Amino acid sequence: MNARMLEMIRRDCHEVTASSVSELTPLKGECVLITGGTGFMGTWLVELITYLNDYYDFCIKMILLSERAYSFSAKAPHLAARKDISLIARDISSVVEIPDDVTMIIHAAGTPDNRIHASEPLRVAQIITGGTSSVLAAASRLPQLKRFLNISSSLVYGPQPLELERISECFGGGPNCSSPSSTYAEAKRFAEILCSIYRNEYKMEIITARPFAFIGPYQLMDRPWAINNFIRDGLSGGPIRILGDSETLRSYMYPSDMAFWLLKILVHGVSGLCYNVGNPDGVTLRQVAEKVASNCPIQPQIISNVAIDPKLHRSKMVPDVNLAQKTLELKLFVDTDEAIRRTLLWNRENIGHM
């Protein structure tokens, strides 16, 4: 990673904290354990926390627990070498003890990659349910634990009805529990139940966040999501191929917004509540492809309905974030257009640096 890429990250962190850093002061001096701490979400949380340490003297210690902790030095060497970060390479399901000085936990372990969900559903279920159970059990014995943020998933809602403009935390849907493709969603639902049990039996302060879709630096372009494929194809000269229904509706949150929202939910969220985390402004896949194409150095061709699978029907997944916006006064600093522009710049710089 070169100096320009690091400067992009610092700019993003400055943007979300410049007028709102006081909202995160409860984090000062805390020791935060982040499971899945070297993944996309974990890395952005670490970037924002280290920014708070460097520019606002928050003095937060971080412990990153990840099965792939060994690869963090290659991914983010500027973070892996820091003295305020400790790395633990461990399968989340094997956690028995957590260091006694941990005061806050962000449980973000578990990949959202649906290729892994399809190829290894049993392992996915075991990691999410067993891992959450192990972390909660260890957390319940911590002498100084203040708050526990469980990172769930928007997939717990099941399919969003097309006539429903946005999906709120009180939506009563759910995934198809008879299909192995619902393994990840059902495991996340069970993880939420485990959190509810521990909150009630052990009087732990546990809050749940349900993330939707994101796009930004550190997200790999080989992931099986339309916007990632559009960016990859656009940067390689195109064409950009829309494989499914071009009117499918999604929304995308930039990761600096995501990290700030998660930290504020951690320190100010109401125990027992779930908060949607995402962008409430939906865009069709056709619009996403056009936005990506317009930001490419040479505008690529867009081809719709390529090898469309008859099983891929038009779908919709757009969050209602009124709860977070009204009760926690959260807002978006980066809209969809700017998120796409910044992501393309990051990846162009990354390609040039390789």
pLDDT at 272 over 50: yes
Contacts of 353 (CB under 8 A, 6+ apart): 1, 2, 5
| Residue 353: per-residue pLDDT | 44
Residue 313's alpha-carbon distances to 28, 228, 251, in angstroms, are: 47, 20, 17
pLDDT at 152 over 90: yes
**Which pLDDT tens digit goes with each residue over 210-261?**
999 999 999 988 877 899 999 999 999 989 999 888 999 999 999 999 999 9
Distance CA(21)–CA(34), nearest Å, equals 20
Give percent of the chain above pLDDT 90: 79
Q: Are strands 31-35 and 302-304 parallel, antiparallel or unpaired?
A: unpaired
Among residues 242, 213, 228, 227, the alpha carbon closest in space to that of 312 is found at 242
What mean pLDDT do residues 135-154 have? Answer: 98
| Residue 306: per-residue pLDDT | 59
Distance CA(268)–CA(207), nearest Å, equals 9
| Residue 311: per-residue pLDDT | 55
| Residue 222: per-residue pLDDT | 82
Across the chain, what does the average pLDDT equal? 93
Orientation angle between helical segments 285-294 and 226-235, nearest 10 degrees: 30
Distance CA(349)–CA(75), nearest Å, equals 15
| Residue 195: per-residue pLDDT | 98
What mean pLDDT do residues 324-349 have? Answer: 96
pLDDT at 354 over 50: no
Are the beta carbons of 43 and 218 closer than 8 angstroms? yes
Among residues 218, 264, 332, 260, the alpha carbon closest in space to that of 26 is found at 264
Three-state SS for the chain is CCHHHHHHHHHHHHHHHCCCHHHHHHHCCCEEEEECCCCHHHHHHHHHHHHHHHHHCCCCEEEEEECCHHHHHHHCHHHHCCCCEEEEECCHHHCCCCCCCCCEEEECCCCCCHHHHHHCHHHHHHHHHHHHHHHHHHHCCCCCCCEEEEECCHHHHCCCCCCCCCECCCCCCCCCCCCHHHHHHHHHHHHHHHHHHHHHHHCCCEEEEEECCECCCCCCCCCCCHHHHHHHHHHCCCCEEECCCCCCEECCECHHHHHHHHHHHHHHCCCCCEEEECCCCCEEHHHHHHHHHHCCCCCCCEEECCCCCCCCCCCECCECCHHHHHHCCCCCCCCHHHHHHHHHHHHHHHHHHC
pLDDT band at 110 (very low <50, low <70, confident <90, very high): confident
Which residue is it, tokens 């909150």?
A: 199
Higher per-residue confidence, 204 vs 350: 204
Distance CA(166)–CA(30), nearest Å, equals 36
**Which pLDDT tens digit goes with each residue over 76-108?**
999 999 999 999 999 888 899 999 999 999 999
pLDDT at 4 over 90: yes
What mean pLDDT do residues 258-273 have? Answer: 98
**Which pLDDT tens digit goes with each residue over 18-51?**
999 999 999 999 999 999 999 999 999 999 999 9
Contacts of 163 (CB under 8 A, 6+ apart): none
In the chain, what are the domains? 3-220+252-281+316-335 (3.40.50.720)
Amino acid (one-letter) located at 228: N
| Residue 139: per-residue pLDDT | 98
The predicted model scores a pTM of 0.95
Higher per-residue confidence, 113 vs 149: 149
Span of 6-20, 108-122, 132-146, 183-197 with lowest mean pLDDT: 108-122
pLDDT band at 262 (very low <50, low <70, confident <90, very high): very high
Higher per-residue confidence, 206 vs 225: 206
